Chains A and B, each alone.
Chain A
Amino acid sequence: MSDQPPERDLETLETRLRDARERSHGPASKKKDKNQPPGNALGLAFRVGVELVSAVAIGVGIGWLLDQWLDTRPWLMLVFIFLGGAAGILNVYRMASGFGYAVGYQKGSDTGEEKPRDQGPGNEE
């Protein structure tokens, strides 16, 4: 060790640091896989329920407002109840198929590190 020139020493230190960082990042990225917080079955069921109901509620709300505006009571509300139900099921489907909590759209495929979440069977691409 002592007969190595100092630059060499720094170099090995650099690689050792990088290795250590990778090692410490390894478990972190694995943990990211379950980006959703730890929850029991009851918590999961509760989440599913909230996602379903909130989408239907928004659907009903939009339908009701449109009906008020366009004077087409009850038709648009009927249509939007079903659309809301579909959105709710979409929410739950996305939640269950590896999109984590994101009730959104395509998961960010731009950041290379976030691959785990892209592997869900529900990936639309």
Chain B
Amino acid sequence: MAAGHSPLAQFEIKRWVPIEIGDLDVSFTNSSTFMVLTVIVVSAFLVLGMRRNALIPGRWQSIVELLYIFIANLVRDTVGKEGRPYFPFIFTVFMFILVGNLFGMIPYSFTFTSHIVVTFAMALVVFIGVTIIAIAKHRLHFFTFFMPPGVPLLMAPLLVPIEIISYLSRPISLSVRLFANMLAGHTLLKVFAGFVVSLGVFGVFPLAFIVALTGLEIVIALLQAFVFTILTCLYLNDALHLH
């Protein structure tokens, strides 16, 4: 099968357990498998890491605590005290994306964050949730937000649509950033892996490059999880402190 050698073949969705409810295709795919796997691994990692709950943490417990403190500090620094109720959600998002990205670095695995459907769904949840929080907290005052203060009223017909478009573009830029980074990185790895075979002896050069690129990809996997999280925090901050 020629498709097996395409650098994009790794992103193919395979129906492992075809399920159809009415016209809806809800098959259990390789993507769903890795999502479930991610949730299981994250839960096991966190719960088992804290099972001893020692005052002086061991190595495993230290990692868990460091992750917790890292996100807790991030929420406190960007959102402030009011962000505390939303910490569980933000921590979940971070761990889910982080472990999902890192799963993608294992050869023959599937990177579900390289699909715009997945990242856009997550971004949309964040976007809608943040908007609901803002409206619930500020009621109609929320809509005064599309009008920057100190702007002459004459400019409103021009500025308000621009502000609304700017606001609506958030979930797109949030999801595209994660998806494009993962897609591009994994495609690049596969393309260079193809060069290794076709160049024969000189294939060591692309091979060496792949080694470096793998390191870079791991950095990007960590960084993009962090970017998604910090953006969620910043949006939440905007929602809670309109003005």
A residues neighboring B (CB under 8 Å): 28, 32, 35-39, 46-47, 50-51, 54-55, 57-59, 62, 80, 83-84, 86-88, 90-91, 100-106, 108-111, 124-125
Contacts and interface: CB of A to CB of B under 8 A. Distances in A.
B50 interface: no
A46 B198 CA distance: 31
B149 A100 contact: no
B243 interface: yes
Contacts, number: 106
For the complex of A and B, the 3 pairs showing the least CB-CB separation, nearest first, are: A54-B172, A87-B165, A108-B241
B150 interface: yes
A50 B162 contact: no
Given A37-B227, A50-B176, A103-B173, A59 B167 contact: no
A108 to B, nearest CB: 4
B213 interface: no
B231 interface: yes
B58 interface: no
A83 B235 CA distance: 22
Interface string B69-81: 0000100011010
A35 B165 contact: no
Nearest to A28: B77
Contacts of A88: 169
Contacts of B166: 55, 87, 90-91, 103-104
B169 A58 contact: yes
A113 to B, nearest CB: 8
Contact of B149 (A57, A91, A106, A108): A106
Contact of B77 (A32, A47, A83, A90): A32
Given A102-B234, A108-B241, 12 more contacts: A32-B77, A35-B77, A38-B223, A50-B176, A51-B169, A57-B169, A58-B169, A58-B172, A84-B165, A87-B169, A104-B170, A105-B148
Given A50-B177, A102-B238, A110-B241, A83 B169 contact: no
A21 to B, nearest CB: 13
Contacts of A57: 169, 172
B165 A103 contact: no
B165 A108 contact: no
A50 B173 contact: yes
B161 interface: yes
A111 B165 contact: no
A54 B169 CA distance: 6
Given A102-B234, A125-B149, A58 B168 contact: yes
Contacts of A47: 177
